[in-house]
Chains A and B, each alone.
Chain A
Amino acid sequence: MCPDRHLISAYLDGEIESPWDKAVAEHLASCQSCRLLYNKLAEASRALREEPLADWRAPMERVHLALRSRTPPRQSQTSVWERRVSVPLPLAALAAALVLFLGVTFVATQLRPKIGLVRITKAPAGGTEIQISAPISELETLLKSVGAEDSTREDVILLPKNVRLLPVGEPRMGKAAEFPKVKTW
């Protein structure tokens, strides 16, 4: 029985260990077809080892050239910040003045004294405007103090003693004209 083609290739490469390599060698000596196969494999192996590799750089360069020829050439773009813009001198001066004005206004706004809680201004028409300006925390405190009952001083009127006061109905309130002149109860 002839050995496998892969076994002969392994024998050629020296990968068959003893004592199996001797058995393969004896078979090759007695078998004509296996010897022919061995010789072919040996010839191919020698050819691969001895022939120089083909130069692949020239085909690679041709592929690169073909790829470059298909890609559209990139246009050289100048950045917006690098473009030169010609501005008339009066316009440039006006822009500089505007920047200066805004800067000074900002600084003056930041440096001016803080507005108090209450600002009173007189309108041109003669009216007086009272503005309350405060941070949220202080405004809440202010509103609480305004809304608190304790913040309003209470006047006390002592009604006369030894008088018999009896309610005759629900409390009523309104303009004097709404009530009859002669009150009865």
Chain B
Amino acid sequence: MRRGVVAAPLLLVLAALGAHPEDREPDPKDALQSLLSNALQVTIAARVLPADEKPIWNALSTKLTLPGQSIRVRMDGENVRIYLVCTPYVQDNGEVLLLAQGQVWFAAPTENEVKYSSTFSSIPVSFGEVVLFFPLGISDQGATQKGILNVEVEIKIVPYKQPQPEQQ
């Protein structure tokens, strides 16, 4: 009887001292590994292309980010400046909700003014699905204007894959 009375508090104390495994400081390597396992790779491809023709110029930017963390890309031209801010969120179903904001500053060559337009979209996408952004708009009338170029920006999000260590 007495042994039980003495042992019970000791067991409770030991349990209290050992009942906080989450309070242990995380190993920095584990923390980095956890961050990388959640990381997303966002590829932004900018193209300049004439109507109905293949691109005459393209550029590729690949960035790593975490869900909820924005990435910003600025495209500078002679008479245009384009901002693109992408914030991906990973939903519970594994899909990605992409919040994308585009801003366009355009200086008309013949007019002495600067035009500004912006767009904001929340687009649910799957990993690898392509989202297109036309900062200068897209003509719905099917008009073809020779000699005028447009900008197309392609956004693609995939989970980040860590490079495999080289086998010796």
A residues within 8 Å of B by Cβ? 89-90, 93-94, 96-98, 100-101, 104-105, 108, 112-113, 115-116, 118-122, 128, 130, 146, 149, 152-176, 178-179, 182-185
Number of inter-chain CB pairs below 8 Å: 212
Residues of A within 8 Å of B76, CB to CB, are 156-159
Bound-complex Cα distance A108 to B43 (A) = 48
Instruction: Indicate if the CB atoms of B143 and A174 lie closer than 8 Å.
Output: no
Interface readout for B25-38 with A: 1 if CB under 8 Å, 0 if not?
A: 11000110011011
Residues of A within 8 Å of B38, CB to CB, are 128, 130
Instruction: Indicate if the CB atoms of A128 and B37 lie closer than 8 Å.
Output: yes
Secondary structure of the A side of the interface?
A: mixed
Instruction: Indicate if the CB atoms of A155 and B73 lie closer than 8 Å.
Output: yes
- Taking a contact as CB atoms closer than 8 A, the residue among A115, A149, A153, A172 that contacts B134 in the complex is A172
- Flag whether B78 is at the interface (Cβ < 8 A): yes
Q: Categorize the interface residue count of chain B.
A: 35 or more
B103 shortest CB reach to chain A, Å: 8
Instruction: Indicate if the CB atoms of A152 and B71 lie closer than 8 Å.
Output: yes
Residues of B within 8 Å of A161, CB to CB, are 77-78
Instruction: Give B72's nearest chain A residue, CB to CB.
Output: A154
Q: Give residues of chain B (57-71) contacting chain A, Cβ–Cβ below 8 Å.
A: 57, 59, 61, 63, 69-71
Instruction: Indicate if the CB atoms of A155 and B61 lie closer than 8 Å.
Output: yes
Residues of A within 8 Å of B78, CB to CB, are 159, 161-163, 165
Bound-complex Cα distance A173 to B135 (A) = 8
Instruction: Give B141's nearest chain A residue, CB to CB.
Output: A184
- Flag whether B165 is at the interface (Cβ < 8 A): no
A179 shortest CB reach to chain B, Å: 6
B79 shortest CB reach to chain A, Å: 6
Bound-complex Cα distance A158 to B57 (A) = 11
Instruction: Indicate if the CB atoms of A169 and B16 lie closer than 8 Å.
Output: no
